[in-house]
Structure 1
Amino acid sequence: MLFFFYEGYQPTPKRIGEFGGGWVAEEALAIGLWCALAARSFEEGVITAVNHGGDSDSTGLIAGHLLGIQYGAAAIPARWYGQLELRKVIEQIAEDIERIPREYYGDGGEFDQQIEQMYPGG
């Protein structure tokens, strides 16, 4: 896969299908990475990663995570948010996850109790 990228091959639905479609973990990872590396934007990378006949939800997830790290949440097109099911819940979880490195020490303290109340059964 890195060969394809370094040789300048763009991920197209046909090339992704020839590569394997992402039905096994190593293929999904390679396709998601290829789409993220070749993308000029968050939107382009995710759309490329999901527009093929293979395991598009997995390849899109991987590309989206990698591109999210690179571009941040501000790069997600606003029109995608309007259709996002459970948006408020997702935003709250993202905020909680973002807080963990600064506050979480796993010592059973106040933050641990807050997490247990917010996410029972964890």
Structure 2
Amino acid sequence: VEPLGLVGGFLDAAGGGGWGPVVTSNLLVQGASPRTTIGTVNTAEFFLTATISATFITQLGWAAFTQATVGLLIGGVLAAPFGAMLAKRVPAKTLMVLVGVILTITSLFGLYRAIWH
């Protein structure tokens, strides 16, 4: 699991994403429960994000952060509890399909932007 964390953490810090798609999908493929996987990945991501943010702040300073940062924080804080409640209440198989669809869509969107923009 540590190499997976290393790769996911690097991709998240270097490219602004990767933790969820890389780590979540890998743990699910290994047979972990969707609820446990989502909870585990989100818990670890909190500490990962705090570390990444502290590093960026010390290297770039507060001036590098924009209004988008505040908007993303507000939106994320408001939406997160609903996502957690959904993960708790949705049947495991349905949750697995939803996670797969969301990961596929976000990965395809990232691929599209990387190739054609």
Q: TM-score scaled to structure 2, two decimals?
A: 0.32
Query: With structure 1 as the length reference, what TM-score do the two structures score?
Result: 0.31
Higher fraction of helix: 2
